[in-house]
Structure 1
Amino acid sequence: MSTRQHRKSYLRPLIVPLVAVAFSGYFAWHGWHGSFGIEARRQLDREATRLAAELDAIHKERATIERRVALLRASSLESDMLDERAREILGFANANEVVVFAGGRKPVVKN
C-alpha cells in the first residue's frame, strides 16, 4: 500500500478569513457610502436644513403678502393701498407728483 503525502499549502487556511474580510469590507463600504449610508444621511440632513430655511423665508413672504391683501379687502379698505395698486397697475401719475417705481416701469404723466 502506498501513501501519498501532500505538501501543506500556506494559502488554504487563509481562504475563509480572506473571504470574510472581503465581505466585511464590502458591507462597510456600502454602509458608509451607499444610498442609505452615513454619508447619504449627512447629505439628507444638510438638504433638510436648507429646505427648512427656504420654507421659513416663504412663510415670511406669504405673511407679508397676506397683510397687504388684508388692507385691500372691502371690510378694511385703505385708500392709500388702493391708490398705490391703481398707480402700479395702470402706470399713471399726476404732473405735480414724484413717483418712484422699484420695478423699472416708467409712469405715464397726464396733465
Structure 2
Amino acid sequence: MWTRHHKKKKYGRFALPAITIAFLSYFGYHSIHGDYGLKAGQQFDRLQAARSAELDKLVKQRMQLEKEVSLLSDGSLDEDIIDEKARYQLNMSRPDEIVIFNTYF
C-alpha cells in the first residue's frame, strides 16, 4: 500500500495571516481616509461650523429687515422711517443736516 507524504511548505502557514493583514489594512485605510472616514468627518464638522456662523449672520440680517418692513407696513407708518428711507434712496438731505451712513450688512 502506497501512501503519499506531503512535504510541509514553508510559505503555506503565512497565507492566512497575510490575507488577514491585507483585509485589515484595506478597511483600516478607508476608515481614516475614505469618503465616510475620520478625516471626512473632521472636514464635515469644519464645514458645519462655517455654515452655522453664516446662518446666524443671515438670521440677524433677516430680523433687521423684518423690523424695517414692519415699520413701513400700512398699519403703522412711521414718518421718521419713511423720511430716512426716502433720503437714503434719493441720496438727498437738507443743507443744515449732517448725514451719517450706517449700513446693516
Give the TM-score of the pair, scaled to structure 2. 0.81
Aligned position for 1:96: 96
Q: Where in structure 2 are there 5+ consecutive unaligned residues?
A: none
Asked whether 1:22 is paired with 2:22, we answer yes
Whole-Å Cα distance in 2 between the matches of residues 41 and 92 of structure 1? 53
Moved more, 75-84 or 11-20: 11-20
- Greater than 3 Å deviation, 4+ residue runs: 3-9
Q: Where in structure 1 are there 5+ consecutive unaligned residues?
A: 104-111
Aligned length: 103
Q: Percent identity?
A: 38
Aligned to 1:42, the other structure's residue is in SS state helix
After TM superposition, the structure 1 = structure 2 runs for residues 29-40 of structure 1, keeping only pairs within 5 Å, are 29-40=29-40
Moved more, 8-17 or 32-41: 8-17
Aligned position for 1:62: 62
- Quote the offset at 1:58 in angstroms: 0.9
The structure whose RCO (Cα within 8 Å, separation 6+) is larger is 2
Give the TM-score of the pair, scaled to structure 1. 0.77
CA RMSD of aligned residues (A): 2.4
Aligned position for 2:46: 46
Moved more, 23-32 or 37-46: 37-46
